[in-house]
Amino acid sequence: MQDLQKPEFDLSYITERIIAVSFHSTCPEQTYLRNLQNITQMLQSKHADNYLVVNISEPREELRRMSTRVLDVGWPELRAPSLHLLCSLCKSMENWLDTCSEHVLLLHCRGNKDRIGVVISSYIQLPSVSTSEEQALDRYTMKRFYSDKMASLMTPSQKRQAFSSELLAHQLKINSSPLLFHCVCLHHVPNLHPTVCRLFIRVYQGMQPVCTTGVSVGKTHKVYFALEPPQLLKGDIVCYYKNAAEGSREPVFRLQFHTGTLHGHPSLFYKKDLDHANKDPRFPENGMVEVVFSETMTNIPNNSAVVIDYDTLDPLVYWDSYENLTTGGTVAIDVTL
């Protein structure tokens, strides 16, 4: 593996045919454009027109000018892409590399490079990646790159989604039936406020809000947030709590998973499974999130001792976390204090 380290960007030949370049979020625009031009010249001199640029961050017109072969599949950093997008991307990579032995791929990312880890850890699930001695060596190299440089940067949801991509190897059975999403129960509320913990949840699908729960009033060890009416969801779910103190919102946890990978209801997620909370000392070690689904319109009892205020007009509750995002295929849930 050959690495070229620059202050403004990281460029790595993961294998001889898969290259990754990530530009730091602090990289100035002019520096980014200059380095991009240098990378283009390097690719042209080494690979002529045999490279495909796979952009896994926001669309960039500069990339289109750099090459006519640009695949824009970006999603927000520190989030997991939809499972459909991830599987389609892996198959597109496979098709490009299989078409010609001289073809190479450039994974381009501006900002957090956790997204490179998502792609690589998913791509190695393809059955064809280890069908020959040469491919087996590439697979080993990619796994080493992932474990040494990427795994520590990825969120629990990203790792869970990469694991879900095992369906590419026909190792994971997908439940195609849509599920009714009834409620989220937070066991052992984090220590966010000395007296009261006002939390709420928002559900998004395709980056559009589809449901907002009431705000919890009071403090207890367990809080149920009912989705009224229950949401019929099929695909990806992004679930995250937010804490609003002194007129601001602070994330308590985020949770993404694919409903098709659920087998059995309800589903429990522990601290280690929750984005943001997994590294927050205020979130208790025994804290967990219970997500309640059903396949029919069933009444789910509310065993919470906390009063839920459904009449709030607080604009913070309805502020859209994804108002500036256009990528689709996910569902999200917010909570605020």
pLDDT in tens, 162-213: 876 666 655 556 666 777 888 888 898 887 776 666 787 877 776 667 777 8
Give the closest residue to 181 by CA, choosing from 325, 298, 56, 78. 298
Burial class from Cβ neighbours inside 10 Å (0-12, 13-18, 19+) for residue 234 reads middle
pLDDT in tens, 275-303: 989 999 989 999 999 988 877 666 555 55
**One domain for residues 153 and 213:** no
**One domain for residues 164 and 197:** no
**222, two tokens:** 């367990």
Domain that holds residue 49: 2-169
Please give the pLDDT value at position 131: 65
Please determine, for residue 50, whether its predicted confidence score (pLDDT) is greater than 70.
Answer: yes
Q: How crowded is residue 218: how many other Cβ atoms within 10 Å of its Cβ?
A: 16
Annotated catalytic residue 109: yes
- Yes or no: say if 78 and 25 are a contact pair by the CB < 8 Å rule: no
**One domain for residues 36 and 121:** yes
Please give the pLDDT value at position 336: 37
DSSP reduced 3-state for 235:
coil
Please give the pLDDT value at position 226: 84
Give the closest residue to 254 by CA, choosing from 131, 110, 77, 20. 77
Q: Say how many domains are in the chain.
A: 2
**One domain for residues 124 and 242:** no
CATH number of the domain that residue 244 is part of: 2.60.40.1110
For residues 92 and 130, give the distance between their C-alpha atoms in angstroms, rounded to a whole number: 17
Which of 141, 169, 197 delimits the end of a domain? 169
In a domain, 324, yes or no: no
Q: How confident is the model at residue 108 (pLDDT cuts 50, 70, 90)?
A: very high
In a domain, 270, yes or no: yes
pLDDT in tens, 201-255: 877 776 667 777 877 776 677 888 888 788 887 767 766 666 655 666 677 888 8
For 89-117, the DSSP string reads HHHHHHHHHHH-TT-EEEEEEES-THHHH
Q: What mean pLDDT is predicted for residues 14-35?
A: 92
Which of 149, 169, 189 delimits the end of a domain? 169
From 87, 109, 185, 239, the catalytic residue = 109
Please determine, for residue 65, whether its predicted confidence score (pLDDT) is greater than 50.
Answer: yes
For residues 203 and 213, give the distance between their C-alpha atoms in angstroms, rounded to a whole number: 9
In a domain, 81, yes or no: yes
User: What pTM does this model have?
Assistant: 0.81
Pairing of strands 70-72, 215-217: unpaired
Please determine, for residue 9, whether its predicted confidence score (pLDDT) is greater than 60.
Answer: yes
For residues 102 and 331, give the distance between their C-alpha atoms in angstroms, rounded to a whole number: 39
For residues 75 and 55, give the distance between their C-alpha atoms in angstroms, rounded to a whole number: 10
- Yes or no: say if 230 and 326 are a contact pair by the CB < 8 Å rule: no
For 133-161, the DSSP string reads HHHHHHHHHHHHHIIIIIGGGS-HHHHHH
**One domain for residues 123 and 213:** no
Please determine, for residue 54, whether its predicted confidence score (pLDDT) is greater than 70.
Answer: yes
CA 56 vs. chain centroid, Å, equals 12
For residues 141 and 124, give the distance between their C-alpha atoms in angstroms, rounded to a whole number: 10
